[in-house]
Amino acid sequence: MAAIFTAGIVAASDLRARLTSVNLPVKAGDRWGRTVQTLVRGALLVALVLVTEPALAHTESGAINSGFLSGFAHPIFGWDHVIAMVAVGLWGAFLGAPAIWLLPVVFPLVMAFGGALGILGVPIPAVEAGIAASAVVLGLLIAFKAKPPLWIAGSIVALFAIFHGHAHGTELPAAANPFAFATGFVLATGLLHLIGIGFGTLVRWPAGTYAVRAGGGAIALAGLAFLFGIA
Amino acid sequence: MAFAHGRPVPGVEGFYTGIVHPLSTPPQLLALLALGLLLGQYWPRKFIVAWRAFALGAIGGLIVGIAGYGHSLGERALLVIALAASLLAAIGPASVSVPGTMAGAAGFFLGMVSTPDAGPLGAMTVTVIGTYVGANLALFYASGGIGWLRDRFNKPWALIGLQVIAAWIAAISCLMLALNVVS
């Protein structure tokens, strides 16, 4: 028992050391930079916990586990969703405070509204095209370094969030455990935003700005590929 | 639970069952989490005002629930309260009267859906007392935990993190509410 306890302590110390070694290039006294760094470290820890396969003595993991995993995997294994979620975080970081946290708050809220419309059977035209268009528009806004007023940025993100939410919502009633599914996909969406924010903090340096804008261009191109059915 | 003697106090199992009853379904859990995030912003002084409203509401809800009214209505109402409370927690602090009213309503509907199945009066009474204690403890620890986090890590990242979590809970509540409506 003591050996297992000691091994656990060693593993925890090792994990802590690895997480604290994740250092974004943050200048001294940069409060927002340190905030983003802490959020990114937290996101990595949550992602590690979620993707780690537990050692189960019994293989029947149950509806809750399968519901959570399928919900968690839904945004991650849909590349059109992934690039749009990352783009939201990326653009938020590009716009700076308070957009850096406002957009990841607005997106899940409006996405859930879109999801509710999907569950209630309210049709929205061209959902898949809307999802692909979200990647194109957000990617272009990043590539061209667009910095509109906060309410316009929030409205653009909210508009596209409805399409993403609707796509999730139509699949929700069929899930084994809708609560676990909803929890999984909301968490996955938030983590993808944080990944985008983490990458977006590179804009503090000139070379990083080019990298982020190039990332925006790549997202827009990928969105075009989804829009025209190439990918 | 490992008892040193094989004869625990008669009916005590019902008390423990009652304690966890307010945490047994997603609407109950979401409402308590959302309310904890919201009332944690008012910890500790103004929280007491809202907690009183919750405690009084829970008594009313338990009486109505035992009388056999509105279980399905209670679950839907809890999801509405979870959505409203988490939205408020994500947006920012409001006057304490709004969260206080929400806490009273949450206590009422939480009590309504947390009543035990019909049985002997003594056993039911013990379980209902456990439910009442459990609901109040859950709100106390959820709000206290959030209040402690806000005091201990009074940094932008902590406050932003709590707002993001509140937005996630609002999103989950919204989806569960839609599912509740169609089911």
* Residue B89: inside a domain: yes
**Structural domains counted in chain B:** 1
Q: Residue B2 domain-assigned?
A: no
| CA distance linking residue A5 with residue A196, whole number of Å | 36
**B154 within 8 A of B18, measured Cβ to Cβ:** no
* Domain of B66, in residue numbers: 17-182
Chain B residues in contact with chain A using a Cβ-Cβ cutoff of 8 Å: 26, 87, 90, 155-157, 160-161, 163-164, 167-168, 170-179, 181-182
Residue B59 lies in a domain: yes
Residue the block writes with tokens 């999103």: B171
**pLDDT tens across the length of chain B (183 residues):** 555 555 556 667 788 888 888 888 899 999 999 999 999 888 888 888 899 999 999 999 999 988 877 777 888 999 999 999 999 998 876 676 788 899 999 999 999 988 887 777 888 888 899 999 999 999 999 999 999 988 888 777 788 888 889 999 999 999 999 988 887
Does residue B9 belong to any structural domain of this protein? Answer: no
Residue B54: inside a domain, yes or no? yes
Q: Which of B153, B168, B182, B183 to mutate to test the interface with A (most CBs of A within 10 A)?
A: B168
Phi, psi of B82, rounded to the nearest 5 degrees: -60, -45
DSSP A57-81: SSS--HHHHHHHHHHHHHHHS-HHH
Any domain includes B37: yes
Both structure tokens of A164: 């993403």
Residue of B26, B157, B179 lying closest to A35 (CB–CB): B157
Q: Please indicate, yes or no, if residue B172 is contained in any of the structural domains.
A: yes
Q: Is this prediction's pTM over 0.90?
A: no
Contact B136, B120 (CB under 8 A): no
Q: Give the dihedral of Cα atoms A93, A97, A102, A107; nearest 10 deg.
A: -10
Specify the pLDDT at position A51.
47
Residue B12 lies in a domain: no
ipTM for the predicted complex? 0.77
Q: Each residue's pLDDT tens digit in chain A (231 positions)?
A: 445 445 555 555 565 565 556 565 555 666 656 665 666 566 555 555 444 544 444 333 455 556 788 888 888 888 888 888 889 888 888 888 777 778 878 888 899 999 999 988 899 888 889 999 999 999 999 999 888 888 898 899 999 999 998 988 887 766 667 888 888 888 888 888 888 888 888 888 888 888 989 999 999 999 999 888 776
